[in-house]
């Protein structure tokens, strides 16, 4: 997709304000007053009003006519083409973020967003945007939504029910190769996928359940092969001529009293965790942690292809000791709680959606269409739940719920869904995968490393031993060990005219993600005078909040810019601030991201 116009502002980089100023007041934007009078400054009744004021003032001052046009200086309203998506507290920074989406003639512009960061007094801290001026396109559609769905059905060779397009809406979309604007029907999460390209038919790598046969295969995933769930792709269809413009995957009150439980996990370790009393006799329990909003269910090897319902009750036990009766459920329950705890205590996020959603895990999942039951080499986030397959090890089935790194990775896909919504294709898709990997490595070592604060004691592998040859799925320290790129010079591009799809791993998202992974590895390990430059908490906060402010179609350079913006606020009062900002730049520069 052609890049939109990028705009960035941070008060720490503003030459018009003095050193050490943490936020810019509305008074500083006010027009020059008459002699002897104080400058007039607005007061704000909401965060949205403040964010609109600052965006409008900043965009009007931009040298680019395209950006100034978004501010619509001929109109009285402040940035009238922007609509609020959400407002969130950035708790680790003590600030608040307002996020907008751009529209043109009340029609959304695909991938175009703006974010404004405010302090508690509604003063400006930072702003960033991916915006553009829509031109040269007729804003009234020639094709109906139903006709657009028919074009997708014809192109994919799939019978799609008419209600599959119920959520479809018009959007403006800019073509990657020509730069032309199109009016498009945006049809999200259709139950189909793009047809194989010629490369996919003749030059692709057959899936053997181990990640497409090696690095570069279409089914990289976690190295498990394709997920045993129905296909789901989002399509943008030209609303005038019916051409397929773009595709990408749609798949990465009062509490009851908790009960203290114990049980043996998949690593043969006795663990302590919380459940809830469920029987009238006061001894029976279920795996429902009311403090962390974590519930764990057993599908008992029901085939996921049959569309099973969540069981009526979480995994039960007659007493609070689960013993060895369900190692898979104990591991899933324990590890899901760990992820929740990390997001809550370190990143100050209230659950996967930041709204306290209940985290549901289902163990003992099978899919006969993918692998002969009872084995299923897969674990994945789908339908806002975690699903766990299992593999044969040492004569018994061992659940993939034992892998905390994989669980943290998958649950972070859920976090990404409810923050930046990174489009799962090309560079934004690689960032989607990378930020999930980052969370996987950090959270796993937070709980399992000999010393969570000393990265020299860390394991940098994701999914150790899960490839058929005994190697891990990925290696943060040495991506090249597994045949993955670790520098932008080895970035794998789609060929001209080639669209993201299942036969090219949606634009090689699992390969190219390793470049950004290596940049974050540099962040975690770079040292000065014998000490690491950043703490583990520093890197967790910078990457999480950096991801959360990205536009859906963000690039690798945009990720660097977002992390730098967070760092400017986070290290605002640190005398080493400038040195730490340069260290961030250096970590990314080492992998060719500038």
Catalytic positions are: 410, 510
Q: How far is CA 331 from CA 159, 268, 308, 323, 402, in A?
A: 40, 10, 22, 12, 5
CA dihedral of 323, 329, 335, 339, whole degrees rounded to 10: -140
Question: What contacts 308, CB < 8 A, 6 or more positions away?
Answer: 299, 302
Helix (H, G, I), strand (E, B) or coil at 44: coil
Q: Where are the beta strands (DSSP E) in 446-551?
A: 461-462, 474-475, 527-528, 531-532
Instruction: Label each residue of 76-97 as H, E or C.
Output: CCCCCCEEEEEEEEECCCCEEE
Q: How far is CA 198 from CA 175, 296, 506, in A?
A: 22, 43, 15
Beta bridge partners of 24: 124
Q: Report the alpha-carbon distance of residue 501 to residue 493 in Å, rounded.
A: 13
Q: How far is CA 419 from CA 90, 113, 339, 475, in A?
A: 12, 12, 17, 26
Pairing of strands 379-382, 385-388: antiparallel
Q: Is there a contact between 186 and 234 (Cβ–Cβ < 8 Å)?
A: yes
Largest Cα separation within the chain, whole Å, is: 87
Question: What contacts 46, CB < 8 A, 6 or more positions away?
Answer: none
Q: Is there a contact between 11 and 21 (Cβ–Cβ < 8 Å)?
A: yes
Angle at 130 between CA 127 and CA 132, to 5 degrees: 125
Q: Is there a contact between 541 and 534 (Cβ–Cβ < 8 Å)?
A: no
Question: What contacts 320, CB < 8 A, 6 or more positions away?
Answer: 259, 260, 261, 262, 275, 283, 285
**Nearest CA-CA partner of 41 in 31, 51, 56:** 31
Buried b (16+ CB within 10 A) or exposed e, 342-351: bbeebbebeb
Q: Report the alpha-carbon distance of residue 272 to residue 321 in Å, rounded.
A: 9
Q: Report the alpha-carbon distance of residue 351 to residue 292 in Å, rounded.
A: 8
Burial environment of residue 198 by CB neighbours within 10 A (0 to 12, 13 to 18, 19 or more): exposed
Q: Which helix (H) or strand (E) holds 118?
A: strand 107-118
Indicate the angle between helix axes 556-570 and 536-548, nearest 10 degrees: 120
């Amino acid at each position: 997709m052609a890049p939109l116009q990028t705009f960035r502002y941070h008060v720490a980089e503003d030459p018009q304000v003095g050193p050490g100023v943490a936020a810019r007041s509305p008074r500083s934007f006010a027009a020059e007053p008459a002699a002897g009078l104080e400058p007039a400054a607005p007061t704000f009744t909401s965060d949205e009003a403040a964010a609109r004021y600052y965006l409008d003032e900043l965009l009007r001052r931009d040298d680019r006519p395209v950006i100034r046009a978004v501010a619509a200086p001929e109109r009285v309203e402040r940035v009238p083409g922007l609509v609020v998506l959400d407002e969130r507290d950035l708790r680790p920074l003590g600030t608040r973020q307002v996020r907008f989406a751009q529209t043109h003639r009340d029609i959304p512009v695909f991938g175009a967003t703006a974010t404004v960061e405010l302090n508690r007094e509604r003063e400006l801290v930072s702003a960033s945007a991916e915006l553009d001026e829509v031109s040269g396109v007729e804003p009234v559609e020639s094709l109906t939504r139903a006709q657009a769905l028919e074009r997708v059905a014809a192109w994919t060779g799939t019978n799609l029910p008419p209600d599959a397009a119920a959520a479809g809406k018009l959007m403006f979309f800019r073509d990657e190769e020509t730069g032309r604007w199109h009016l498009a029907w945006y049809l999200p999460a259709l139950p189909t996928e793009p047809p194989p390209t010629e490369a996919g038919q003749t030059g692709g790598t057959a899936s053997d359940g181990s990640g497409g046969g090696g690095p570069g295969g279409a089914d990289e995933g976690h190295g498990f092969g394709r997920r045993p769930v129905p296909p789901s792709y989002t399509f943008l269809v030209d609303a005038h001529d019916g051409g397929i413009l773009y595709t990408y995957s749609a798949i990465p009150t009062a509490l009851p009293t908790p009960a203290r439980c114990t049980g043996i996990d998949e690593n043969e370790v006795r663990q302590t965790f919380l459940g809830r009393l469920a029987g009238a006799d006061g001894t029976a329990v279920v795996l429902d942690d009311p403090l962390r909003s974590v519930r764990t269910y057993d599908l008992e090897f029901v085939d996921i292809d049959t569309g099973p319902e969540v069981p009526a009750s979480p995994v039960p036990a007659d007493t609070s000791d689960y013993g060895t009766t369900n190692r898979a459920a104990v591991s899933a329950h324990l590890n899901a709680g760990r992820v929740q705890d990390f997001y809550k205590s370190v990143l100050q996020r209230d659950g996967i959606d930041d709204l306290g959603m209940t985290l549901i895990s289902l163990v003992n999942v099978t899919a006969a269409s993918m692998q002969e039951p009872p084995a299923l080499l897969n674990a994945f986030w789908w339908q806002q739940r975690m699903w766990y397959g299992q593999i044969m090890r040492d004569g018994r089935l061992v659940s993939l719920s034992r892998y905390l790194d994989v669980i943290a990775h998958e649950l972070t896909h859920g976090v990404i869904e409810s923050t930046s919504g990174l489009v799962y294709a090309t560079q934004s898709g690689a960032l989607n995968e990378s930020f999930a990997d980052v969370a996987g490595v950090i959270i796993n070592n937070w709980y399992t490393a000999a010393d969570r604060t000393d990265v020299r004691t860390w394991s940098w592998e994701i999914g150790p031993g899960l490839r058929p040859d005994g190697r891990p799925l990925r290696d943060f320290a040495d991506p090249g060990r597994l045949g993955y790129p670790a520098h932008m010079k080895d970035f794998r591009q789609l060929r001209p005219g080639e669209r993201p799809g299942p036969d090219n791993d949606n634009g090689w998202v699992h390969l190219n993600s390793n470049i950004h992974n290596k940049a974050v590895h540099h962040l975690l390990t770079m040292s000065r005078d014998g000490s690491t430059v950043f703490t583990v908490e520093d890197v967790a906060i910078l990457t999480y909040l950096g991801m959360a402010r990205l536009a859906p179609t963000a690039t690798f350079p945009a990720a660097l810019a977002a992390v730098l913006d967070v760092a400017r606020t986070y290290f605002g009062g640190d005398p080493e601030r400038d040195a730490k900002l340069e260290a961030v730049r250096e970590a990314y520069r080492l992998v060719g991201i500038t």
